[in-house]
Amino acid sequence: MKTESGMAMTDTPQLVALFTDFGIGSHYLAQVKARLLQMNVTQPVIELCSDAPAFNPRASAYLLASFLPYMPDGTLFICVVDPEVGGGREAVWLKTERFWFVGPDNGLLSQAARHSQQVMAQRIDLPDLPAHAKTFDGRDLFAPAAARICTGSIPKGRVIAPDHLVGADWPENLAEVIYIDAYGNAVTGLAAGNLPKEQVLLVNGHQLPYAETFCSVPKGMVFWYENANGLVEIAANQGSAKASLTLEVGCPVRWADT
């Protein structure tokens, strides 16, 4: 299904985007950036998402994939949602027709790979790195790997078939809350394009109709809509769907029989 080779690897990234559960504004992010600068990365670095669901590579995988259509060609994503850091999980880097990805092979990159046409995957193998901490691969392994890609010296590693990445067998849609934003809006892992607008959803015992946008429903009313990244999102007009429906990451979303 995916081609594993034939990609020109001579180009370099234009932008580095950090996708992590490090916590918004955390010093972990800064330490990753400092390491990139130390290793002569001159590309701009942005914190795409720093509050990905903590310890939850599965929910995070669907969130990451939803951002991709809106990111510039040539973005390199450093992805860290990594509860098994320091244990046995492998580290990988991917190259697709538009992007690079560096991160743990724990499913986090699986949905990004699914939505790409061409995927080349390799183990990260950097034996010349200095001894480093057991618990901060973002700074000590993924940032150096990213820096080498950014500076044109691609790390060599064992090629992996994309179908062998962890999470390659996960479903295309995840009928759960995968993220809650600062307004209290709850993003799900469901592609909205698949869902008829007349479908009523059932979440925590509440029936939720579709609306096109916030101000098309009364203030405080909870509804679902297609968010700006194409996913089904549960929201309230000028209110918090999280508080109104007691939502949290992992809450299942069902189809109401209406």
Tell me which residues touch a copy of itself (CB under 8 A). 14-15, 17, 22-28, 30-31, 33-35, 37-38, 44, 46-51, 54-55, 67, 70-72, 75, 83-87, 133-136, 139-140, 181-183, 212-216, 225-228, 237-238
Q: How far is the CB of 107 from a copy of itself (least distance, A)?
A: 15
- Structural tokens at position 215: 């101000």
- Closer to a copy of itself by Cβ: residue 43 or 116: 43
- Closer to a copy of itself by Cβ: residue 25 or 171: 25
Q: How far is the CB of 65 from a copy of itself (least distance, A)?
A: 13
**The total number of residues written for the chain in this structure:** 258
d(C-alpha 26, C-alpha 18), whole Å? 12
- Closer to a copy of itself by Cβ: residue 176 or 226: 226
- Closer to a copy of itself by Cβ: residue 93 or 99: 99
Of the candidates 7, 4, 9, 28, the one whose C-alpha atom is nearest the C-alpha of residue 18 is 28
d(C-alpha 19, C-alpha 162), whole Å? 21
d(C-alpha 172, C-alpha 102), whole Å? 21
Helix axes 27-38, 143-150, angle to 10 degrees: 40
- Structural tokens at position 170: 């996960």
- Closer to a copy of itself by Cβ: residue 140 or 162: 140
Q: How far is the CB of 123 from a copy of itself (least distance, A)?
A: 19
Q: How far is the CB of 137 from a copy of itself (least distance, A)?
A: 9
Task: Encode burial over 39-58: b for 16+ CB neighbours within 10 A, e otherwise.
Answer: eebebebebbbbbbbeebbb
Q: Are 35 and 143 in contact (CB under 8 A)?
A: yes
- Closer to a copy of itself by Cβ: residue 6 or 70: 70
